[in-house]
């Protein structure tokens, strides 16, 4: 009989049901590859009778409970898998699991973004590993890659399309000229790619939570949420999708994580973490990522450019990430042989999920972040308008790389003026925009979007 590792599964929603299903379906494969058996000892669910997606039958009543404390009190549960969602109850569960010396697996990105520093400090103090691959980019193994495959690299930059809902909406607006945001969102909801309340997806914070996790892993300090610039896609219009395409770009909700170069050329200065709609050159591989797919481009100083692509959400991809963490957690717990009482001890001492270090500085203030910009203005169609706008930009040291002004006008008879701006700080652009908005020839609404030039 193979060695058994007891699992306590907290949460039987979409992902939890998938984990339970695939543990059963792939039991023989896992036993052959791990040399042990992962056995679900307890399952926590808010509703003990509700049918679950993908499950032909519920888990046996003998292991079902509504009380997460049962997982902590049961000595047969060695690994606690937190898939409840939310913040308060999962935080209490994980705190208790760590205090009890139980290995933790979680996919809760919001919890880690807001309380990761505390969780990993507790894990380190108790020498309990925490695994969280499923928290970011679904089935894409980006967490393991940053922690393990790129361990000898200074991470120069990470660019990620890491929210499938927003990517689906923007892909539909790009593929169907004239489709507005509201209709594209409705299509995403009808297709099951957006929740009834899609707020965190479309306002950028779902992607921001993931960006905080990636940035913290890459740069060795826990990034405060209030230092992350976040902007959603709610204001993206069919007009801006059109002009971006004409200029050779596609608009994506992009997570951007970068380290500044030091005087020696080695990464190690302040970092920037931001999530916002971004113009990406059509020639760049990320511009071709469509639908609900995710992609993360990582550049290391040793490995160079790498790209990860796949489904970023859904029952099966996320379950795959949880099962990967379960396998690694089981290896950490498994004795190597009868004479070695705990061969996983060293791993547990070294692997608590997050390794802090002081090689990098704090987050760069938003006002100092440099970018190129796309600026669209509704203006009076008369001589001298462009000169006034250019004058306001020039007064703040902002150059113009190109100008587009189509001959067509809007319903109010105003022209659309589109300018591609040279690199400037957020502070410079905001000051210039305040002057431009005060011009009598400029009328709302307009649009300001950032342009990413990769490698700069």
Domains of the chain in sequence order:
3-138+315-350 (3.40.50.720), 147-311 (3.30.360.10), 368-451 (3.30.70.260)
Q: Whose structure tokens read 């543990």?
A: 23
Instruction: Read off the pLDDT of residues 391-426 as tens digits, 9 standing for 90 and up.
Output: 999 999 999 999 999 888 877 789 999 999 999 999
Q: Whose structure tokens read 């591609």?
A: 420
Cβ 253 vs Cβ 277: under 8 Å: yes
Q: Within a 10 A sphere around the Cβ of 140, how many other Cβ atoms?
A: 24
Percent pLDDT > 70 in the chain is 94
| Confidence grade of residue 56 (pLDDT, cut at 50, 70, 90) | confident
| Confidence grade of residue 440 (pLDDT, cut at 50, 70, 90) | very high
| Confidence grade of residue 343 (pLDDT, cut at 50, 70, 90) | very low
Query: In sequence order, which residues have a C-beta less than 8 Å from that of residue 8 and are 6 or more positions away?
Result: 40, 41, 42, 43, 44, 70, 71, 74, 77, 79, 80, 81, 102
| Confidence grade of residue 268 (pLDDT, cut at 50, 70, 90) | low
| Confidence grade of residue 349 (pLDDT, cut at 50, 70, 90) | very low
The CA distance from 91 to 249, in Å, is 42
Given a cut of 90, whether residue 242 has pLDDT beyond it is: yes
Q: Whose structure tokens read 């606690």?
A: 80
Q: How far is CA 417 from CA 79, 135, 182, 191, in A?
A: 58, 41, 24, 36
The CA distance from 103 to 352, in Å, is 9
Highest mean pLDDT among 231-235, 333-337, 356-360: 231-235
The CA distance from 250 to 450, in Å, is 12
| Confidence grade of residue 359 (pLDDT, cut at 50, 70, 90) | confident
Cβ 85 vs Cβ 13: under 8 Å: yes
- Which of the following is catalytic: 109, 210, 252, 258? 210
The CA distance from 99 to 90, in Å, is 14
pLDDT value of residue 347: 45
Does residue 432 have a cis peptide bond before it, meaning omega lies within 30 degrees of 0? no
pTM of the model: 0.93
Rounded average pLDDT over 341-369: 71
| Confidence grade of residue 338 (pLDDT, cut at 50, 70, 90) | very low
Q: Which residue has the higher pLDDT, 326 or 335?
A: 326
Q: Does the annotation mark 210 as catalytic?
A: yes
């Amino acid at each position: 009989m193979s060695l058994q590792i007891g699992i306590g599964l907290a949460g039987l929603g979409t992902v939890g049901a998938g984990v339970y299903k695939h543990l059963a379906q792939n039991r023989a494969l896992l036993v052959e590859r791990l040399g042990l058996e992962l056995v679900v000892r307890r399952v926590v669910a808010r509703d003990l009778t509700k049918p679950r997606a993908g499950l032909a039958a519920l888990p046996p009543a003998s292991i079902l409970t509504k009380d997460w404390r049962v997982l902590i009190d049961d000595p047969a549960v060695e690994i606690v898998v937190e898939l409840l969602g939310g913040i308060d109850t999962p935080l209490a569960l994980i705190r208790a699991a760590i205090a009890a010396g139980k290995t933790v697996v979680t996919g809760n990105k919001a919890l880690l973004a807001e309380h990761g520093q505390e969780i990993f400090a507790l894990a380190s103090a108790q020498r309990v590993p925490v695994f969280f691959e499923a928290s970011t980019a679904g089935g894409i193994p980006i967490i393991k890659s940053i922690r393990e495959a790129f361990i000898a690299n200074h991470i120069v930059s990470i660019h990620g399309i890491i929210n499938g809902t927003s990517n689906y909406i923007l892909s539909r607006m790009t593929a169907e000229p004239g489709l507005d945001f509201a209709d594209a969102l409705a299509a995403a909801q009808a297709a099951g790619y957006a929740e009834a309340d899609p707020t965190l997806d479309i306002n950028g914070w779902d992607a921001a939570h993931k960006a905080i996790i990636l940035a913290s892993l890459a740069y060795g300090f826990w990034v405060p949420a209030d230092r992350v610039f976040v902007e959603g896609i709610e204001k993206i219009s069919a007009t801006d999708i059109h002009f971006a395409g004409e200029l050779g770009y596609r608009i994506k909700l992009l997570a951007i994580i970068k380290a500044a170069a030091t005087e020696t050329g080695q990464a190690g200065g302040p970092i920037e973490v931001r999530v916002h709609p971004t113009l990406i050159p059509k020639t760049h591989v990320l511009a071709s990522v469509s639908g609900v797919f995710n992609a993360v481009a990582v550049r290391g100083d040793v490995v160079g450019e790498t790209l990860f692509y796949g489904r970023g959400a859904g029952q099966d991809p996320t379950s795959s990430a949880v099962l990967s963490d379960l396998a690694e957690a089981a290896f950490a717990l498994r004795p190597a042989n009868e004479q070695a009482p705990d061969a996983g001890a060293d791993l547990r001492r070294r692997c608590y999920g997050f390794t802090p270090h002081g090689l990098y500085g704090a987050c760069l203030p938003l006002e100092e972040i440099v970018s190129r910009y796309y600026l669209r203005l509704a203006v009076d169609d008369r001589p001298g308008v462009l000169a006034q706008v250019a004058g306001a930009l020039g007064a703040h040291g902002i150059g113009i790389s190109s100008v587009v002004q189509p001959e067509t006008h809007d319903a109010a008879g105003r022209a659309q003026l589109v300018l591609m701006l040279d690199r400037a700080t957020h502070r410079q652009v905001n000051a210039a925009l305040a002057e431009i908005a005060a011009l009598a020839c400029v009328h709302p609404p307009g649009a300001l979007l950032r342009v990413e030039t990769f490698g700069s």
